[in-house]
């Protein structure tokens, strides 16, 4: 990433990471802000500026550190070193929280966040799992900050608990030689290449995500696969059949021995529709009135008929190609 403008909270430059980022991007224009949560000149931009705003960087200090209990793949969702993302998936869940301001925000107080993580982990008499990537893509963030490498090494020295994160990126090379001690779980989020091309703008290709997953397994990490989100485009059935065929042919045996699947169907919203129509007028329209139904507060999900058909096909493909592997959940 090479931002033209960096918005920053003044105090963030007192932190080592803030100083590093200042050196790294000193040729950018730096604009002082009061609060990373509220930058009026960005908030007041029209929706058509969405993609341009994603090229900016925001640097601040994370003030809220509340862990949210979770029961899917982890025990807690943890607010960690970034929020938002510089990629532009048309369905991105972060748009529901941040609307058009879902650009990448980096938080420099990483020592404070890691120390809470380790303390909470050590206070528990059981091994807790912390989802640290629910607010951004930490593999992508790591290319700018090195935060994920730093976290994996430090958390690896701990004797209790696990951290887990999903990603749609292949830049895992810097993670391969780390002393993770088996305490980090990296889950690769996969979709058919045609859906990546049409919907997941700025993310890694399917082939590269698969290669990255094979290498992180080879490096001894615990791994998982998210089929997420399942998008029921016109030719969805043939695309997902093809996806599972590719996976069965290209995933390494070590991945196949261990992998657990998570399957998540796409949730869309009125806000996504408005932003995407203005920001990406030539992109595919993900809202399909024949297949979707309202889900409260301006959200849409697939109706029971479409959803059941999708779920049946995905379950059948997993059963055919990965008969020994578990599906953790389908939502
Ligand atoms: S990679 Fe993840 S966080 Fe980034 S835009 Fe896509 S869905 Fe959102």
Ligand 1 centroid distance, CA of 293 (Å) = 23
pLDDT value for 281: 97
Query: What is the C-alpha R_g of the chain?
Result: 20
Q: What is the pTM of this model?
A: 0.96
Q: Are 68 and 102 in contact (CB under 8 A)?
A: no
Q: Tell me 282's DSSP state.
A: T
pLDDT tens-place string over residues 36-55: 989 999 999 999 999 999 99
Q: Are 81 and 141 in contact (CB under 8 A)?
A: yes
Q: Are 99 and 271 in contact (CB under 8 A)?
A: yes
- Please choose from 80, 82, 89 the residue to mutate so as to test ligand 1's pocket, defined by most ligand atoms within 8 A of CB: 89
Task: Kindly list the protein residues whose Cβ atom lies closer than 6 A to any atom of ligand 1.
Answer: 85, 87-89, 92, 94, 136-137, 168, 200, 203
- Residues with Cβ within 8 Å of 159's Cβ and at least 6 positions away in sequence, in order, are 122
Q: In which region does residue 154 sit, left (phi positive, over 0), alpha (psi from -120 to 50) or beta (all else)?
A: alpha
pLDDT at 71 over 90: no
DSSP-based three-state secondary structure for 132 = coil
- Helix boundaries (H) for 124-161: 138-145, 147-156
Q: Are 225 and 259 in contact (CB under 8 A)?
A: yes
The count of structural domains within the chain is 1
Ligand 1 centroid distance, CA of 8 (Å) = 22
Range of the domain at 118: 5-330
pLDDT at 295 over 90: no
User: 131: domain CATH number?
Assistant: 3.80.30.30
Ligand 1 centroid distance, CA of 238 (Å) = 24
Residue with the smallest CA separation from ligand 1 atom 8 is 92
pLDDT tens-place string over residues 159-192: 899 999 999 999 999 999 999 999 999 999 999 9
Longest dimension (CA), the chain: 56
pLDDT value for 302: 98
């Amino acid at each position: 990433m090479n931002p033209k403008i960096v918005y920053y909270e003044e105090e963030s430059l007192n932190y080592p990471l803030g100083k590093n980022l200042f050196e790294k991007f000193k040729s950018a224009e730096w604009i002082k802000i009061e609060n990373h949560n509220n930058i009026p000149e960005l908030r007041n931009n029209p929706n058509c500026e969405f993609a341009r705003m994603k090229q900016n960087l925001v640097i601040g200090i994370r003030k809220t550190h509340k862990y949210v209990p979770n029961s899917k793949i982890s025990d807690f969702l943890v607010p960690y070193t970034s929020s938002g993302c510089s990629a532009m998936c048309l369905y991105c869940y972060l748009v529901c929280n941040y609307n058009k301001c879902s650009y990448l925000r980096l938080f420099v107080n990483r020592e404070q966040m890691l120390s809470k993580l380790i303390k909470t982990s050590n206070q528990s008499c059981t091994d807790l799992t912390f989802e640290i990537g629910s607010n951004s893509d930490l593999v992508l963030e790591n290319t700018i900050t090195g935060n994920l490498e730093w976290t994996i090494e430090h958390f690896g020295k701990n004797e209790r608990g696990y951290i887990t994160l999903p990603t749609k990126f292949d830049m895992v090379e810097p993670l391969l030689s780390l002393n993770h001690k088996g305490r980090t779980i990296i889950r690769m989020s996969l979709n058919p290449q045609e859906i990546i091309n049409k919907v997941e703008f700025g993310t890694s290709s399917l082939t590269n995500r698969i290669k990255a997953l094979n290498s992180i397994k080879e490096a001894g990490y615990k791994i998982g696969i998210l089929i997420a989100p399942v998008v029921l485009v016109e030719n969805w059935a043939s695309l997902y059949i093809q996806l599972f065929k590719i996976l069965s042919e290209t995933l390494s045996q070590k991945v196949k021995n261990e992998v657990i699947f998570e399957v998540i169907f796409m949730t869309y919203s009125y806000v996504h529709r408005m932003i995407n129509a203005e920001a990406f007028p030539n992109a595919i329209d993900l809202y399909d009135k024949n297949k979707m139904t309202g889900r409260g507060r301006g959200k849409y999900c697939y109706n029971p008929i479409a959803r059941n058909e999708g779920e049946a096909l995905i379950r059948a493909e997993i059963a055919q190609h990965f008969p020994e592997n578990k599906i953790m959940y389908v939502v």
